[in-house]
Amino acid sequence: MARGKKIYEGKAKILFEGPEPGTIVQYFKDDATAFNAEKKDVIDGKGVLNNRLSEYFMTGLTQIGVPTHFLKRLNMREQLVRSCEIIPLEVIVRNFAAGTMSKRLGIEEGTQLPRPIVEYCYKDDSLGDPLVSEEHIAAFGWASQQDMDDILGLALRVNDFMSGVMFGVGIKLIDFKIEIGRVYEGDFQRLVVADEISPDSCRLWDIETNQKLDKDVFRRDLGSLTDAYAEVARRLGVLPKTGGHPKPTLVN
């Protein structure tokens, strides 16, 4: 499929105009960044794996009635998605303490939380995506109260789905980040899960060994990121059970 004009290039993806109005082609790069792009590398095969994994999660969400921007995968690195207006928030759901929550509150990483905790960060790289409260969101008009109720509902449904899928393959969903987009249909707007869901935006630990199978492998220099992501894909059946990296043989 001929690609349209480049709309935006982010740290891990490039967006192009799609073939139909209201569609976008999302291209997954191999670039990995951490600590607000202070640490950077190119990880052979990461984009291919994230394209497949995000397709897998978004398709599953659609099947259980959670609206997403995903339309179809086009090839190894590209997927067609609905164009939407991204709400400038990172919506984080945590089941176990880790990362910035552990640092902020002094809770040991891996401690199970009394219930899932939803946090919001204002999406602005130049500010380091600061944590904000619903008060900030309402006062600055980033989302309405109705949007916030819907976002919370979506975030918790994604959490239940992702936790269950991961539990089924021996992985603990520690936390994750999603982004929410507005899709306009006539006079109405609908909120959908947008961007991507992949090991770049989740913390995934092996249930038995607590081995990290997510971007912390890159952030903390814990080994091969492609091996970790390929292991997640293999367990989910997105990759064959055998076969190695870094150029995985993909099924279908």
Minimum separation from the CB atom of position 185 to ligand 5GP (A): 28
Q: How many CB atoms lie within 10 A of CB 93?
A: 22
Residues 106-135 as x/- pattern, contact with ligand 5GP by CB under 6 A: -----------------------x------
Binding of ligand 5GP at residue 90 (CB under 6 A)?
yes
Q: Which two tokens stand for residue 136?
A: 């900030």
State which residue, 84 or 155, has the beta carbon closest to ligand 5GP. Answer: 155
The reply to whether omega before 246 is within 30° of 0 (cis) is yes
The smaller minimum CB distance to ligand 5GP, of residues 45 and 199, is found at 199
Q: Is 176 in the site for ligand 5GP (CB under 6 A)?
A: yes
Q: Are 49 and 248 in contact (CB under 8 A)?
A: yes
Interface with ligand 5GP, residue 175, by CB under 6 A: yes
CB nearer to ligand 5GP: give 147 or 200. 200
> Which segments of the chain does DSSP mark as H helices, in order?
46-63, 99-105, 134-139, 145-167, 216-219, 225-236
Interaction residues for ligand 5GP, span 188-207 (CB under 6 A): 200-203
Whole-number Å distance between alpha carbons of 85 and 180 = 8
**Residue closest to 119 by CA, chosen among 145, 152, 142:** 152
Q: How far is the CB of 229 from ligand 5GP (least distance, A)?
A: 13
Instruction: Mark the segment that binds ligand 5GP (CB under 6 A) among 13-21, 63-71, 95-103, 109-117.
Output: 95-103
User: How many binding residues for ligand 5GP (CB under 6 A)?
Assistant: 15
Does position 30 interact with ligand 5GP (CB under 6 A)? The reply is: no
Binder among 100, 189, 211, 224 for ligand 5GP (CB under 6 A): 100
- Six-digit token pair at 211? 């081995």
Q: Tell me, what DSSP letter sits at residue 126?
A: G
> 27 CB contacts (<8 Å, ≥6 apart)?
13, 14, 15, 16, 47, 77, 78
Q: Which residues bind ligand 5GP (CB under 6 A)?
A: 90, 92, 98-101, 129, 175-177, 200-203, 215
